[in-house]
Structure 1
C-alpha cells in the first residue's frame, strides 16, 4: 500500500449549540510520512437547434445535492431555518408527504434549473440544498471520554476519498474525524455526496496543528496508530482495546514526519496478493474494521 499519511475545529472555548450537530459557518475555513504499502472532426452546428443553457459559476462549497446528503442535512438540528432548499415537483411532494423538510421551505424547480447550479455530471436526484459549510466541533467534544476510535486525516484533499472515509467511519461507530484546518476540503459538494449524509451525523474537529492535537489526545488517554505500508508491524497486532486514533495520510506522501513521530506505533495492512497499493478510503475501511474487532476482543 502506498504511503497512507492524505474540518471542524473549535474557534472559541464554548461548545457549539445543538449538541453533536454542526453549526454553519459564515466565513471560510478556520485552524511524518508513512511509507509504501498502498481530434474529432468538428460538425457544423444545426441552426434550428435551441440554444444550450449556459452553466454559471458553480460554488460547490455551499451546495449539497443528492437524496441522502440533503435529507441528512435537513434533519441536522444545526441546519434548522437555514439554507435554500430546491426540489423537483416529485421530490417536493415526497418531502411534504413524509415530513422531511424539518421546518425548511421547499422551492419547487425543474431539473434543468438544478443542473445549471451544479458541476458537470453531478447527480442531484431532484434535490439541492444551498447552505453554509459546517463549522464543526471542538476536539474535546469527540475525545472525552476516551473510548472507541477517532479517525485523523493528514492532508487528504480528494473529496471522494474523504467523503468515503466519513461514510465508513460512521458505519463502524467511530467517535469522529479530525482534520487539519488547512489542506482539507469543505464538507459539502462532491465530498458530502460521497459521504451519503455521514458528514451531517459524524462530528468533525478542524484543528490548526495535527501534532499538537495528537499530544492533546494522548493527554486525554488516546493511543495513536498510524498507517504506514513500510512498517514491520501489522495493523492487527498493533491494535488493542484501548481508545485509538487511526491516523491516515495522503496516498502520495503518506503521514508527514512530525505527525508520524507523534504516533505510538506505525503499522501496515498486509497484502499477500502482491498488489502494493490501496486507495486510502479502502485502507481506512479496513483499518476501522480491524479496530472494531480489536475492541470486541477485550
Structure 2
C-alpha cells in the first residue's frame, strides 16, 4: 500500500530508516536551504526520483503543512500485536509502555509518539477500533518518531493489559478524579501509563484493568490538559524517577 509522507523531519527519517520504500520525492522549486539539502542528498544517494514543482502542486498533493517536500512511499508494516510480549520482555525492568485508549485525533497521536520517542518508551499500544492509526498527518506531527517507536494496535485492549500484568508490568491509569497523585507513584520499574480519550477519558473496561489510578495535580482554573501534553508530563516523570 502506498502513502504520502510530508514534512522535512518525516521525509528525512523515512529516507534514513527505510529508503527502499521511497519511490519518488517532490520538492518546492527553487528551494535550496540547508534543511532541504539533507533530503536531496539522501534521495540522490539512494537513486530516488526527484521532481521540482510549484507550491500549488505540493499543496494539492497533501492536506497539511508540507514544508516544501512530499514523498511517495510504500507504507511500512505495522508492529503486530503478537510481538507485544517479546518487546516487553526485551526491555525487562526498564519497560515503559504507553497505552492510548481511544485517542482519535491524528495530531494528538503524532505528538504522543514524539514524546514517547524522546522518553525512550518501549512500545505504544492503542485499540484498533475508535483510535487514530498511522497516516501521513501522524507521521508529519511525530517528526520521525512514528518510524522509531513500535506502535501496536490491538484487537482487545483489556486482554493486552492483562498480558502486560502477567509479564510483571504495573498498569497505571490517568484519571482526573483519582485520589493519588502520579508523583506519588513508583514509576521506576516496568510500568504502563494509560491515557484516556480526548474528553471522555478511559473506557470502563480499561479503567477496571488498571492496578492504580492517578491524577496530575492541577493548580489553576483549567481542569485537564490536552492528552498529548499530559502524556509528555507523565512520561517524563517516569524518566525523572529512573535517572
Alignment correspondent of 1:114: 58
Alignment correspondent of 1:127: 69
Kindly provide the CA deviation profile for residues 45-86 of structure 1, in whole angstroms up to 9, marking residues without a partner as x.
xxxxxxxxxxxxxxxx92211100111111123x52444322
Kindly provide the CA deviation profile for residues 71-124 of structure 1, in whole angstroms up to 9, marking residues without a partner as x.
1111123x52444322234469824763355625132131322111112xx221
Quote how far apart the aligned CAs of 1:273 are: 2.0
Instruction: Please say if 1:215 is aligned against 2:162.
Output: yes
Distance 2:21 2:146 in 1: 19
Alignment of 1:166-245 (within 5 A): 166-245=113-192
Alignment correspondent of 1:84: 24
Which secondary structure does the structure 1 equivalent of 2:171 belong to?
A: strand
Alignment correspondent of 2:215: 268
Distance 1:135 1:253 in 2: 30
Identify which range, 152-161 or 122-131, moves more after superposition: 122-131
TM-score by length of 2: 0.88
Instruction: Please say if 1:148 is aligned against 2:95.
Output: yes
User: In 2, are the aligned partners of 1:139 and 1:207 still within 8 Å (CA)?
Assistant: no
Which secondary structure does the structure 1 equivalent of 2:221 belong to?
A: coil
Which secondary structure does the structure 2 equivalent of 1:128 belong to?
A: strand
Instruction: Please say if 1:74 is aligned against 2:19.
Output: no
Identify which range, 206-215 or 104-113, moves more after superposition: 104-113
Quote how far apart the aligned CAs of 1:255 are: 0.6
Which secondary structure does the structure 1 equivalent of 2:116 belong to?
A: helix
More strand by share: 2
Q: Which structure ranks higher in relative contact order (CA pairs < 8 Å, sequence separation ≥ 6)?
A: 1
Quote how far apart the aligned CAs of 1:174 are: 1.0
Distance 2:193 2:142 in 1: 19
Distance 1:240 1:113 in 2: 48
Q: Give the root-mean-square deviation of aligned CA atoms.
A: 2.2
Identify which range, 281-290 or 173-182, moves more after superposition: 173-182
Distance 1:214 1:127 in 2: 39
Kindly provide the CA deviation profile for residues 147-198 of structure 1, in whole angstroms up to 9, marking residues without a partner as x.
2311011110001111111111111111121111222223222211111111
More helix by share: 2
User: In 2, are the aligned partners of 1:226 and 1:263 still within 8 Å (CA)?
Assistant: yes
Alignment correspondent of 1:39: none
CA 1:292–1:167 in structure 2 vs 1: closer, same or farther (change >3 Å)?
A: same
Quote how far apart the aligned CAs of 1:236 are: 1.0
User: In 2, are the aligned partners of 1:85 and 1:104 still within 8 Å (CA)?
Assistant: no
Quote how far apart the aligned CAs of 1:230 are: 0.3
Which secondary structure does the structure 1 equivalent of 2:98 belong to?
A: strand
Alignment correspondent of 1:98: 41
Structure 2: state its 5+ residue gaps: none
Question: How many residues in Structure 1 have an aligned counterpart in Structure 2?
Answer: 234
Which secondary structure does the structure 2 equivalent of 1:108 belong to?
A: strand
CA 1:127–1:246 in structure 2 vs 1: closer, same or farther (change >3 Å)?
A: same
TM-score by length of 1: 0.72
